[in-house]
Structure 1
Amino acid sequence: MKKQLIISVGREFGSGGHVIAETLAKRFDLPLYDSNILESIAQERNVDAKTLHRYDEVPRNILFSRRVREYSTSAEENIAQMQFEYLKKKADEGESFVVVGRCSETKLAGTPGLITIFVLGDIPVKTARIMKLHNLTEKEAKNMIEKQDRQRKMYHNYYVKGKWGDSRNYDLSINSSRMGIEKTADFLESYIRERIAESVQEA
Structure 2
Amino acid sequence: MSSDDIDPGVRELRDPKAMRAMAHPVRLQVLEILGEEGPLTATELGERIGESPANTSFHLRTLAKYGFVEEAERGKGRSRPWREVRGGLLVREEELDGEARRAAVAMARARRANLLRRIERWVVERSSYSKPWQKVGFEMEFQTRMTVEELKKVSRQIGEILEPFKRPAGDVPGSAKPVTIAVWGFRTDAPDAGARRRSAR
TM band (smaller chain): under 0.3
Larger radius of gyration: 2
If the length of structure 2 is used for normalisation, what is the TM-score? 0.26
Q: Which has the higher contact order (CA 8 A, sep 6+)?
A: 1
Determine which structure has the larger strand proportion and give its number. Answer: 1
